[in-house]
């Protein structure tokens, strides 16, 4: 039995937040892949290339997860969290500043707070 479609209406804040993180991940994918191609073209031997390629792919996968959340699918949330954890580990490997880690936790916490009232509608 499926819940009433009128209840499935996405809250305006959740809609805005999903659009925001979708656009942020699109920009992140562009920046990571651009940095990867710059490193490859300059053949920088002391800078690892692969983390930027993986970050770009993770950003594209995160967008796929966001589309899944938009369509009320649990796999979308699980895919987004997987991408978040993996990207956090890669950013630690690359030596990103501490404030970026804290902001990423705020990002995930805000998504949880916005999805919690509608958790039963994720299929």
Instruction: Report CA-CA distances (Å) from 75 to 43, 46, 51, 72, 100.
Output: 38, 38, 25, 9, 26
- Residue (of 7, 8, 27, 30) closest to 19 by Cα position: 27
Residue 120 pLDDT > 90: no
Residue 7 pLDDT > 60: no
**CA–centroid distance for 49 within its chain:** 21
Query: What pLDDT is recorded for position 6?
Result: 46
Tens-place pLDDT, residues 40-90: 888 777 878 899 999 999 999 999 999 999 988 999 999 999 999 999 999
Residue 99 pLDDT > 90: no
- Residue (of 41, 59, 60, 40) closest to 50 by Cα position: 40
pTM of the prediction? 0.86
Task: Please give the Cα distance from 13 to 10 (Å, whole number).
Answer: 8
Task: Please give the Cα distance from 25 to 93 (Å, whole number).
Answer: 19
């Amino acid at each position: 039995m499926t819940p009433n479609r009128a209840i499935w209406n996405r809250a305006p804040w959740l809609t805005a937040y999903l659009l925001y993180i979708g656009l942020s991940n699109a920009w992140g994918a562009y920046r990571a892949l651009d940095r990867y191609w710059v490193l490859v073209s300059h053949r920088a031997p002391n800078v690892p290339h692969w983390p930027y390629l993986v970050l770009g792919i993770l950003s594209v996968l995160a967008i796929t997860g966001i589309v899944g959340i938009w369509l009320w699918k649990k796999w979308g949330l699980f895919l987004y969290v997987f991408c978040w954890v993996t990207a956090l580990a890669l950013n630690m490997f690359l030596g990103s500043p501490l404030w970026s880690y804290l902001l990423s936790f705020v990002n995930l916490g805000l998504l949880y707070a916005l999805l919690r009232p509608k958790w039963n509608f994720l299929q």
